[in-house]
A and B are shown apart, each in its own frame.
Chain A
Amino acid sequence: MIFLPILAGLALLLFPVGKSGSRLTGFIVSVIIFMIGIEIFLDFKGSGTMEYSVNRPWIDSLGINYSLGIDGISLLVLLACSLLFPLIFAIYSGRTKGYYANLLIAQGAMLGAICATDIVLFYIFWEIMLLPIFFMIGLWGGEKRLAATLKITIYTIAGSLLMLAALVYVGVSYHSQFGAWSFNIADLRNLDLSGGFAVTAFIMFMLAFAIKIPLFPFHTWLPDAYTEAPTSTTFVLSAIMAKIGVYAVIRFVIPVFEIEFARFALLLSLAGVVGMMYCGLAAITQKDFKRLLAFSSASHMGIIALGVFCMNLQALTGSLFQIVAHATSTGILFVFAGLIEERMQTRNIADLGGIAYRAPIFATFFAIAMLASVGLPGTSGFIGEFLIILGAVKFNTFIGFLAGTALIIGVCYMLWMFQRIFFEKSNSKTERFKDLSFLETVTFLPVILLILFMGIYPQPFLQKIEPAARIHIAAFTTITTTETVAETVVPIQEHDTHHKN
């Protein structure tokens, strides 16, 4: 599953294939991956342990294994990653084959990073992931692409190289405590780290992931990169890559550095909230809608990160759920933004208006995705955000309150943008705006339906996440209540349906 896209991507690079041929290859490969992803999701037992694990020795002398596995934490990220790629290949035409090849390699590396349970293996995929992004922004980006490319590359590489040092430190401490080499996360869990350098190592890890997420104040690369990148790259960055940052915190930081994590949780969650507020306010002032979406995405990553830092079951489950919800809603918003840009040749909000009269289907889809993004009940965004806020209030009332306020900011800029683009007076340009073609409607429909489905009936997703989340949380608190998250949500659900009626 991991190597299929990578190999296909490399093959595309090496052999002369036409544009449409390479796009078709990409599409077919990503559909196969999608099928596998769906099958894994349906087949997944939700036992809380690793399933589908593979373990082969790789570098014996250091105990580095090629080991993969999927549990409730990685399942939904994996699903998002396999779900969204066929969409990219279906919608975007006109790029050269190198672009499609890079997309495939990026997907392969991301799948690898999501599945890896050996921390060195994870690091390797994590680094490979960046290379296609580097080329995609640098070669196919907008006007200021060079600066954006350098910014994102140097930022992320600085973070990940520091992580490398910390990672080695963890491995070496394991060796000195247990007398054997291992970089497997299941073994590292038993590690008892203490002392001054444990904190440093923890900070190094967090720094790498905070840059990738991006967490305030390490978000400065994001607006440039998201705006300058071709839309499908922005899509990959925001919908999937940022999520892998959050995922990695849950997977690798929490089990290894429980004590340090608990010590810094308040600070980190504050960073999350401040990021939400700051990026939300920045989004209001933007004139360029792609940049607005970039800030909005950063703001929403803040709440997902907050969910992780609250260290309780509700918030963590909410975060994991929100990962998929946000991937689908923001991802598709970026796709729509790219569509408007392509048809109108502008990214300026002021130049647009009245599109809803010309393109009702498009406006409806956009509205659903947007509402999901701001967390309206009935959409996928609501479940995740509600759970996170619930967890946040439990963790610290003040932070919960701030997070709730920040969400309102989100509603402000989103609705205002929607009003300016889709309503108000149309001008000569928007008069000619074409609605979605039949093919486009069919491509987007499943995602829109998924957003609604996840909002109305989230239980199948929550049930699969929960056991694994429970195990991760167990490190901090012993969960005394037997109530499950799925049950918490049911009453709201009923309330929600009333509301609709």
Chain B
Amino acid sequence: MNDFLSLLPLLIICSGGIVLMLLSVLETMNTETASYVSLGFFGIAFFVQFLIVCFPESELFATTFHSMLMANSFSRVAGLVILGAGFFTAMNCHTYFQQNKVCTVEFYSLLLFAGCGMILLTLARELITAFISLEIMSLAIYILVGYDRERVTSTEALLKYLILGAFAGAFFTMGTALVYGAAGSTGFVEISNYISANSASTPLLVGGAFFILVAFLFKVAAFPFHAWVIDVYDGAATPVTGFMATALKAAVFTVFVNFLTINGALQKEWITFLFYIALFTMFGGNLIAIGQSNIKRMLAASGIVHSGYLLIGLIAISTGSFTGSVIVYYLAAYAAGTLGIFAALSYLGGKNESRISFDDFKGLAKVRPYSAAAISIFLLSMAGIPPTAGFMGKFYIITSAIAEGQIALAVFGVISSILSMWYYLRLIICMYFNDAEDSFEIEKSPFAPACTFILAICVFAIGLYPIVI
């Protein structure tokens, strides 16, 4: 029964996706109704997941489906982040597609399937399962990215993402094969037993783990596998970009953590490697972001930087006082801020995303003070200014890094966030310190603005009451 309960959110959105797919043949079904249906499914699943997180006394299941899935407190909160991101994305899409009429009913169905793959990914305790869920998620996302076939950038984004993503998938299977060759199993428990019996540095295992890490690093856009992210984020429809930036990152980081922590020896083996990856990810991302004039591209680059911070958290994970909760908290804080900005962009962007550069947002505060204030809150959260969620997230990451003796990494993280101040402040300066040239007319739709409002409150709520995690 408990197993069933833990899987319930997954089942709900999975069936939601199938129902929508079937309903799409009906004549009377239009995109608006579809968005309500998907909102409903995401909402119910979120609620159920929320109850599961709130009442942890219901036993965690260690082994289901021959220990292929496992729910721990970490994956539960990650699931909550993913479902929340899905819910808000559906809201944004509703508004976005009133201005850009390229949507069909299947869009929402794919959104649900993508969410389904992500949830499955957080539960995966076995490499093949992880691969399958990774692909369920990726295939849905590929289509979502290229949904606007009329736009060149969208198609370009799809191709880039698809081809490179296929490479990453191939790396993952290659890694799985090598690990299987070493450990004789693809289950995390068996791999852990193998490492304890032998060591984490047998050639086969090192090769396998390396390929798997490459696939993960590609998905979270860490250096040097970050090049795709700018064009893809730019080309995809704004709400989809928001979904990718938050839910996808949350899912991949969860399985990343689960994989890396199956055995302490495995994590130790890779710390130095990840140290340099994190370092270059943060500074590379910053350098890219500083040069951008397009907000979506800037956010893509800042997403790289945030991946770098999350990698710090990953390195600092230990069996001691800091566990995955630091990472999952950061994911939630980052998701609230990023989704909020993409929600605001969804309704402020205008037809065909005509308002997207820094200059287009000049003087927004004069015309739409509330929207500008909300965007500023999200930006400040991403920059890590108290009392927002982003600050608490960064605080935890730095604390965990220093507590684990990674002082250098913590200092680099701080320096990197000083650098990132520049491009976050730049947008705030554009919005506040210039006169308006645009009248910022938008389609009337309550959804994305409501979403912006809720998330702005969330940013403070998560920041002021960090006890929830």
Contact = CB atoms under 8 A, between A and B. Distances in A.
Interface of A: 13, 59-62, 120, 123-124, 127-128, 131, 135, 138-139, 145-146, 149-150, 153-154, 157-158, 161-162, 164-165, 168-169, 171-172, 175, 197
B414 A139 contact: no
Nearest to A176: B403
Interface string B435-466: 00000000000000000000000000000001
Interface of B: 321, 373, 380, 384-387, 391, 394-395, 398-399, 402-403, 407, 410-411, 414, 417-418, 421-422, 425, 429, 432-433, 466-467
B398 A127 contact: no
B433 A138 contact: yes
B429 A149 contact: yes
A59 B403 CA distance: 17
Given A150-B425, A197-B407, A161 B386 contact: no
Contact of A165 (B402, B403, B425): B402
A131 B380 CA distance: 10
A56 to B, nearest CB: 13
Contacts of A146: 429, 433
Contacts of A197: 407
Contacts of B411: 165
A172 B399 contact: yes
A161 B414 contact: yes
- Provide the main secondary structure of the chain B interface: helix
Contact of B418 (A127, A128, A157, A172): A157
Contacts of A62: 399
The 8 closest A-B pairs by CB, nearest first: A124-B386, A165-B414, A172-B402, A158-B418, A172-B403, A168-B399, A127-B386, A138-B433
Nearest to A145: B433
A128 B398 contact: no
Contact of B395 (A138, A139, A149, A168): A168
Given A149-B429, A158-B418, A165-B411, A127 B385 contact: yes
Contacts of A168: 395, 398-399, 402, 410
Contact of B385 (A131, A139, A162): A131
A224 B391 CA distance: 29
Given A165-B411, A172-B403, 10 more contacts: A60-B467, A127-B386, A128-B385, A149-B429, A150-B425, A150-B429, A162-B414, A164-B395, A172-B402, A197-B407
Nearest to A159: B418
A484 B114 CA distance: 74
20 contacts: A59-B466, A62-B399, A120-B395, A124-B387, A124-B391, A127-B386, A128-B385, A131-B385, A146-B429, A153-B425, A154-B422, A157-B418, A161-B417, A165-B402, A168-B399, A168-B402, A168-B410, A169-B410, A171-B399, A175-B321
Contacts of B429: 138, 146, 149-150
A164 B467 contact: no
Q: Which of B402, B422, B432 has the most CB of A within 10 A?
A: B402
A157 B421 contact: yes
Contacts of A127: 385-386, 391
Contacts of B385: 127-128, 131
Nearest to A201: B407
Contact of A164 (B398, B403, B407, B425): B398
A175 B403 CA distance: 9
B465 to A, nearest CB: 9
Contacts of B398: 164-165, 168
A149 B422 CA distance: 12
Nearest to A135: B432
Contacts of B467: 59-61
B452 to A, nearest CB: 15
A417 B441 CA distance: 53
Nearest to B463: A124
Question: Looking at A61, A139, A149, A171, which has the most chain B CB atoms within 10 Å of its CB?
Answer: A61
A124 B384 CA distance: 11
Nearest to A124: B386
A60 B469 CA distance: 12
A172 B405 CA distance: 10
Contacts of B407: 169, 197
A295 B260 CA distance: 56
A60 B321 CA distance: 13
Q: Give the most central of B395, B410, B418: most A CB within 10 Å.
A: B395
A171 B403 CA distance: 9
A311 to B, nearest CB: 29
B421 to A, nearest CB: 5
A153 B383 CA distance: 13
Nearest to B466: A59
A128 B387 contact: yes
Contacts of B466: 59
Contacts of B399: 62, 168, 171-172
A153 B429 CA distance: 12
